[in-house]
Amino acid sequence: MKRFPDILIAGLALFTIGLCFASGSGFLEPAHAVMKSSLLTKKWEIASPDPSMLHSGDLIFRQGRGVISNSLRCLNREDPSFSHAGIIHLEKGKVFVYHCIGGEENVSSRMRKESLRDFCSPDYVHSFAIYQLQVDEHRHSMMDSIAGSWYRKGLRFDTDFDLSTDSAMYCTEMVYKVIKASCGNEIYLPLTRLAGRSYVTCDNLYLHTPCTSIYHYSYPN
């Protein structure tokens, strides 16, 4: 009986994983509110971080507004703040995010590179945060380079959530493996064990690593 909470969480994890590919950032999420372009622009201008504080290779996390995002947050064992993760990429003065996601809004299932503004759109995001690993510039460059190479190769979203394979990856798995490939054993990254399998959750990536929180924003409800 003492293990019932873990079994319950494991059941929720498996149920959520089954739905996650279908959900992406659209299916089963609330319909986008009809907003004027000027209002969206104003909201983003308030929320947008100063690009000068960001570096390629920074980690970004977001909390979606929908049911599936809230379910994914439950998989975090310590901090349920976020449900999705990506890696910051700076290019010609613009800020982008590399991330892996499935669902009807990404029918190709290929890794995405989208603007920071789109990744953090108030249409479907409640809050987001950016963390910076305390490693040298060479490591940051390696992280950016590896993520970029996987994007160009068309890395697919991992519908099986299988951490043991590299042919496809889910969002936090991609970030985890970028860090491991760039930093090796210099950074310890814990895993979450559920239902006999290991997973990477959002809080695995920043709670027990040498990360500094450099930006956080929550949109007004």
**Domains identified in the chain and CATH numbers:** 4-30+37-218 (3.90.1720.10)
Region 91-108 average pLDDT: 87
Q: What is the pLDDT of residues 6-49, one digit of tens each?
A: 555 555 555 554 554 444 443 344 444 444 578 888 899 999 99
**Which pLDDT band, with edges at 50, 70 and 90, does 86 fall under?**
very high
The first and second tokens of residue 192, run together, are 């979450």
CA distances from 19 to 63, 66, 160, 168, 177 (A): 17, 13, 11, 17, 23
pLDDT class of 221 with cuts at 50, 70, 90: confident
Confidence of residue 185 (pLDDT cuts 50, 70, 90): confident
H-helix or E-strand spanning residue 13: helix 4-23
Average pLDDT over residues 66-84: 88
**E strand segments, the chain:** 59-64, 84-91, 94-99, 112-115, 125-133, 156-157, 168-169, 192-194, 197-199, 211-218
Higher per-residue confidence, 105 vs 21: 105
Q: What is the mean pLDDT of the chain?
A: 85
pTM of the model: 0.85
CA angle (112 as vertex; 146, 153 as ends), nearest 5:
50
Rounded to whole angstroms, the Cα distance separating 65 from 126 reads 6
Per-residue pLDDT tens for 118-166? 999 998 899 999 999 999 999 999 999 999 999 999 999 998 999 999 9
**What's the CA gap between 195 and 13, in Å, rounded?**
8
Decide if pLDDT at 101 tops 70: yes
Asked if residue 66 lies in contact with residue 83, where contact means CB atoms within 8 angstroms, the answer is: no
